Structure 1
Amino acid sequence: MKLHVIFLIIWALFGTSESSDNGVCGDRPLAEDFRGSRVVGGKDAEPGNWPWVISIQEYRDDEYFHVCGGVVLNNLWVLTAAHCFRDVGNEYYSWRLVFGTNQLSDMGAHAQIRTIKEKIEHENYDPDTESNDIALVRLDQTIVFDKFTQPACLPAKQAILSKLDDCYVAGWGVIKEQSTGTSDILHEAPVNIIPVEHCNRPTWYNGAVGDYNLCAGFEQGGDDSCQGYGGGPLMCKRSKAKFYTVVGITSWGSSCRQKQILGVFTSTQYYDEWINGEVFKKPQMSAVKKLFWQIAEFFYKIVKKVFQRS
């Protein structure tokens, strides 16, 4: 058999593109450039603005209801908050995750629905203080990346978050303080990152915010993350940069839209090692394909040298 034929067979078996499995983090094919268009108070998001934001939904009374948001990490894993699963036992196995949609009552043709195969809460999560409020969800089957569904970027360990000056929260949470129902359409709102030491002032959260948290909102009041935004992302970038990075997962807050009462988020940068350790602890198909491709490439080089010598 000729060398190029051998190579083509190896490519067909193991040469699946990694990007088709894992997408391009931070890619927003349908989103318009946000620079100069921040709207204080927030607004409904356009389809495709935040393709890594998903809805986690509880099943009760023969219907699904939005419980929390989540963030796509890759085609098999979602990042969210541990408090989303508080006091639910194993009922979350009947829940569903909705990808690629803006409006929950009319999800559209691009929506993808998956169920939960495995849920991993941080081993030190404390529901009383909401410390280590972070969780991972492994899907029952992989998702397909398209213009409406893409993985999020997480910040590098050495990234300086204080330099990120263009931040948003997004979710299907409560929009008004006195409202009890969550939004049907994905809502986005600009926020500012507030130093943790400011949030911990006696007249603010009085030391309740940990080093593993981020604070965001507006010191004078305004949109932040209310009920129903839990598990959803805090997304930031430099004003002239192209890609947003998910720097936080919505955790808690005493109120919303109130002066000096801001949203508190779990820092994804702080938990970088935990996230990677859990996600890559279990082998995934894409990783297996990548390994086979590396082995195939190694043997191809050896065979090529043998053919050249003969």
Structure 2
Amino acid sequence: MGNKNSHLKHKQQKIPEFDKIESEQEGQEKLLDYYLSTDARSIDRLHMYHFLIAYIFQSNFSSPIEDKLIKGGCKVLDIGCGPGTWLLDLSNKYENSHFIGVDIKPIFPQEIKPKNLEFIEVDVTNGLSFRDDEFDFTHVENMGIIFTPEQWDFVLSEIIRVTKPGGYIEVSDRRNSYVGEGPIFRKISDALWASCSERNIDTNLIYDLDLKIELQPNIGKVHRIENDLIIGPNGGKIGLIFQDLVFSYYLSEMAIKNLSEEIGISEEEYKNMVEKDLIEEFKQTNPECAHVRFWVQKQLSE
């Protein structure tokens, strides 16, 4: 059953020399600040993105779990919960079920939250401390540029381990490439994908994650649901909202610094490219972004 008791295992690392500790910690913190930014604008962006996804799919989830959530006694786990928007939405709606969110960075609410919701600071790539078969519904969203392929294997095995037989697992994300984009948006996006590749992230993996899920034990048929949107004014109101999210990310302090270096231009040239050239390009193009959800029911052990 997945990695049974894997939460008791710990990665063994050589203790670095004292003069290396600070620099390695600083390097990790910079990566987290870049990919898991905790400033107010980033948190606002994550809140808005949650509601955008819910609108695209006309639901907060696609797994057939709502009847059990309404009935009560359902236990739900959200991996990489961020500011907790998805969980806050569900815990207020399904008051008789219990919700837990875990994330490596504690940007979730510490005090003001429903009684049926709790948050735990944890790095899921080191394992989960929950018992086997504990959750009725386990959810993962927007982790496609966070986990390496090897980490995905481990995280999926942990998710399956802590989910009850008969319970549901759902992974939601977007395709990390676009159809019909212009040269400017392609250049900026390629710089982001290149920076991910330097961290051993396979940015194409998420779009075919169902193939990786199917290799896991105790898994039934993997269901896949997709919806597209056009970024920019040619995509209507929803396209303009997503355009705002794109600009918010690409004009964040860390994105300006890292992506300008990746492209090989000055920060001022980069900002000019995004604020002027890209916004004009969006008016002339129809870049499609595909969002995808995978859901599957855990089977009884063989």
Same fold (TM over 0.5): no
User: Between Structure 1 and Structure 2, which shows a larger proportion of helix residues?
Assistant: 2
Task: Give 1 or 2 for the bigger CA radius of gyration.
Answer: 1
TM-score for the superposition, normalised by structure 2: 0.25
